[in-house]
Amino acid sequence: MFKCFALFCLILALPVAAQAQTSRVEGMAIQGDYIKDYTGMYTYTSSVNNVGNLVYGELGINTVAGPLDRAVGAVIGDLWEGKYGTWAIHMREFTPQLGQGDVTSSPSPGAFGGDPNSNTNESFDLMWGRKFGTTSLGLRLNRSYARSESDVGIAAPGPLLLSDIKWDFEQGLGTDPNFARNILGFGGGLGFEMSPTTNFELSVLYQSRTYTTRTETGGTLEDGGPATYQLAARAFWQWQPNIMVIPAFKWSSFDLSTKDSTGTTNDNSLKSWQVGASGDWTLGSNDLFILGATVAQNKVDQQEDITSSGFANGTITETFTPQIFAALETHVNNWLTLRFGANKGAWHSIKTENNSATPAESERIKDSPFNMSLGAGVKVGSLQLDAVLNDNLPQNGLYLFSGAVTDPMFSKVTATYSF
């Protein structure tokens, strides 16, 4: 009990330093596109040049099985006195979602805005960047790979033994390999100064995502297309001394097609786009208020039931017109900072079109989903911690005082060391 109390006091002592983490962004329930934060380098690769020198540790999300989605990485800007640019390396337990720093944040808003692929065997993720005057260049190379071969056959669900598996089988042989593909990714981005008050960033991420399953009888199941990509652009416009406007655009495409042993291909895809803007107000000495909106759409086009929606041929379209979001980060004193934020689908709909039926059937659901997050953190010497707090913490507090259980107290924790 007293250890929990001490940890609570520790985690609330959030620093006022500028460096931040994935837990900071997720603790405000906003997308990283609309805030200046080092985690933007995962989408906008040229911003790796602006990070400086740091070592970070993703300490994981709390689960019944223990902490998951852990990582350690470093960004070094003065290696060889900076003559050869900025270098970054990321070592992770799980492959993050496309353009993100972990598996818990999504590239787009909505129920269908997440990356459908999952791979627990990331080999490496390397980044390099360099500044040329007022222009910045950033490059990225990443790989996630798993394979199992056997001369005696691999037992799996179904009547046939498998001889070769090239996908993330460690999630379980009952896993759909279409959502556990191996990955080879490339990325590149440019950032440049458009005017004394405006900077612009443009980035492209491309990933070849593949899977193959071979049986002892020679049958083959494989992907019907490997291409996954994301195009992202944003600007930072210093409209007023205390107001920064950030417009952003993003387009993502995931090829989820499959091919069976007869050569028949089922074309499946998930495509997402969004256009939005935020106003980031600096309040008082160093507090931050963010208010913005984004119009977004996620569309699944399937020729087999990859979404478990009950039909094979059809589409599912999710639309925000718009989603609005707001967040506050306030430095209570020189050692304490608290954060909270929320997003709201003001006009949100999901339209399902079943083209397998005769005649075709359609259904539309309209609602206004709401999501809110809380965040806090601590600075111990040169080590900075951020945490996403349990939603029940403000009401329950600590067991020491209320007798109510808040478990886990922190759903996610990240550490950063700047030098």
Q: Please give the domain boundaries of the chain with CATH numbers for all domains.
A: 2-418 (2.40.160)
Residue 71 token pair: 């990582």
Query: What DSSP state is assigned to residue 396?
Result: H
Please give the Cα distance from 220 to 311 (Å, whole number).
Answer: 24
Task: Provide the Cα torsion 115, 119, 122, 123; round to 10°.
Answer: -120
Q: What pLDDT was estimated at residue 160?
A: 67
Query: What DSSP state is assigned to residue 65?
Result: T
**Quick check: 244 and 236 in contact, CB under 8 A?**
yes
3-state helix vs strand vs coil in the chain, percent to 5:
10, 55, 35
**Quick check: 135 and 191 in contact, CB under 8 A?**
yes
Chain-centre distance for alpha carbon 289: 22
Q: What pLDDT was estimated at residue 336?
A: 84
- Indicate the residue type of 387: A
**Buried residues in 378-391 as b, exposed as e (16+ CB within 10 A):** bbeeeebbbbbbbe
Contacts with 69 (C-beta within 8 Å, 6 or more apart), sequence order: 58, 60, 61, 92, 93, 94, 102, 103, 104
Enumerate residue ranges in the chain where pLDDT < 70.
1-21, 159-160, 398-406
Query: Largest alpha-carbon pair distance within the chain?
Result: 70
Supply φ then ψ for residue 379, to 5 degrees. -125, 120
Contacts with 19 (C-beta within 8 Å, 6 or more apart), sequence order: 38, 52, 54, 384, 416, 418
Please give the Cα distance from 189 to 136 (Å, whole number).
Answer: 8
**Quick check: 330 and 337 in contact, CB under 8 A?**
yes
E strands in 211-242: 212-215, 220-223, 227-240
Angstrom distances, CA of residue 114 to CA of 4, 200, 271, 386: 33, 25, 11, 23
Please give the Cα distance from 42 to 104 (Å, whole number).
Answer: 14
The H or E element spanning position 255 is strand 243-255
| DSSP SS3 for 39 | helix
